[in-house]
Amino acid sequence: MRRITLIVVILALYGTGMAAEAPSPSCPSGKDYTLAIHGGAGVILKENMTDKRESAYRKSLSKSLGLGGQMLEEGYSALDAVQFVVMALENDPKFNAGKGAVFSAAGKNELDAAIMDGRDRNAGAVSSVTTIKNPIVLARAVMENSRHVMFQGQGAEDFAKEHGIEQVDPKYFYTKRRYDQMKRKVKANKVKKHSFLDTAETKYGTVGAVAKDGCGNLAAATSTGGLTGKEFGRVGDTPIIGAGTYADNRYCAVSATGTGEFFIRAGVARDICSRREYLGESIAQSSNHVIHKTLTDMKGDGGVVAIDEQGNYSFAFNTPGMYRGANKGGKTLIEIFDAK
């Protein structure tokens, strides 16, 4: 992507919902950056996926990865890169965030998002919002323009109004595919009440990104519609700092996807960073331990994208697949299925 195209893309996304100034580069430009993204984990099997569908997902992942990579290369901050990557994925109806989010059992789209700045561990989060076009934009506004970390429901919507953040009719989030999924799930749950997992259809579809920029700073961002058929007022791990999202310049940045309840109970994202801090593990060791041992022992499922302060990245997931991609200094990779 040429520089001018990048600015146009940023401004087009920016126009969709921010009151603050458009971002501009603040770090040295060059190849000293890393970006890792995900579009959800779950029962994603090659044999259940048409070539057309697979290539559509690859295209979406590659587009957002391209945008974030180009931003980092041009000297934009990790915080801006993860925010814009997540905005692009929120606007893509294939993923369970923003447009195309899953439905609650009551037939609503209730969205959660969080962003964290590894420089000072400042963080912003929103939960259960129903009119915010890009919840990650609101999470960033909470981080930068309030003395609190998380706003939920009506309060979050009021905060958005006060700060000029774009709101839409809740119908904007509707997709037939997600609505039908919820109907099937609610029907199945009449038999198996409160089950999280149902059929081979279980895919989490949350979106997230972690990055290290040319200044050496880390950031993480995650956004989701939660779980299909979730009960009233349910909040998952995505907006919980330390569960689904975490960033600390000294050790790591993490964004998670999966059965949120388990990620909250295990404090997954913070634990991955803590293992590096206390045990000196590599990012691959700590993320694999937390996903393949801690989470798996608890019978939770899902995965993470994680990077360390050197820009090494790791994907860890215990599901058959996870939509994911990485760009380390221009070397890119996009994967969907488990390689094993």
Instruction: Using the CB atoms, write b or e for 180-209: b if 16+ within 10 Å.
Output: ebbeebbeebeeeeeebebeeebbbbbbbb
Summary count for the chain: helices (H), strands (E): 10, 12
Phi (first) and psi of residue 38, to 5 degrees:
-140, 160
**205 lies in the binding site for ligand ASP (CB under 6 A):** yes
CA count, 13 A, side-chain hemisphere, 270: 12
Q: Which of 34, 64, 83, 206 binds ligand ASP (CB under 6 A)?
A: 206
Contact string 278-307 vs ligand ASP (x = CB under 6 A): ------------------------x-----
**130 lies in the binding site for ligand ASP (CB under 6 A):** no
What is the residue type of 189? N
What the block records as the tokens of 21 is: 């100034």
Which residues touch 19 (CB under 8 Å, ≥6 apart)?
141, 163, 164, 165
**238 lies in the binding site for ligand ASP (CB under 6 A):** yes
Catalytic residue among 206, 224, 228, 257: 206
Q: Which of 80, 110, 213, 237 binds ligand ASP (CB under 6 A)?
A: 237
**323 lies in the binding site for ligand ASP (CB under 6 A):** no
What the block records as the tokens of 167 is: 């709101």
Number of residues this chain uses to bind ligand ASP (CB under 6 A): 16
Calpha distance 121→149 (Å, rounded): 11
Phi (first) and psi of residue 116, to 5 degrees:
-140, 140
The conformational region for residue 233 under phi > 0 = left, psi -120 to 50 = alpha, else beta, is left
Closest distance to ligand ASP from the beta carbon of 109 (Å)? 12
Residues 108 and 130: beta-carbon distance below 8 Å? yes
**124 lies in the binding site for ligand ASP (CB under 6 A):** no
The span of 77-85, 256-264, 276-284, 318-326 binding ligand ASP (CB under 6 A) equals: 256-264
257 as an active site residue: the answer is no
The span of 173-181, 187-195, 252-260, 310-318 binding ligand ASP (CB under 6 A) equals: 252-260
The span of 22-30, 46-54, 141-149, 223-231 binding ligand ASP (CB under 6 A) equals: 223-231
Q: Which of 91, 224, 255, 288 binds ligand ASP (CB under 6 A)?
A: 224
Closest distance to ligand ASP from the beta carbon of 256 (Å)? 6
Closest distance to ligand ASP from the beta carbon of 14 (Å)? 26
**257 lies in the binding site for ligand ASP (CB under 6 A):** yes
Calpha distance 170→133 (Å, rounded): 9
Residues 127 and 156: beta-carbon distance below 8 Å? yes
Closest distance to ligand ASP from the beta carbon of 296 (Å)? 16
| Residues in contact with ligand ASP by the rule CB under 6 A | 40, 96, 204-206, 224, 226-227, 236-238, 244, 257-258, 260, 302
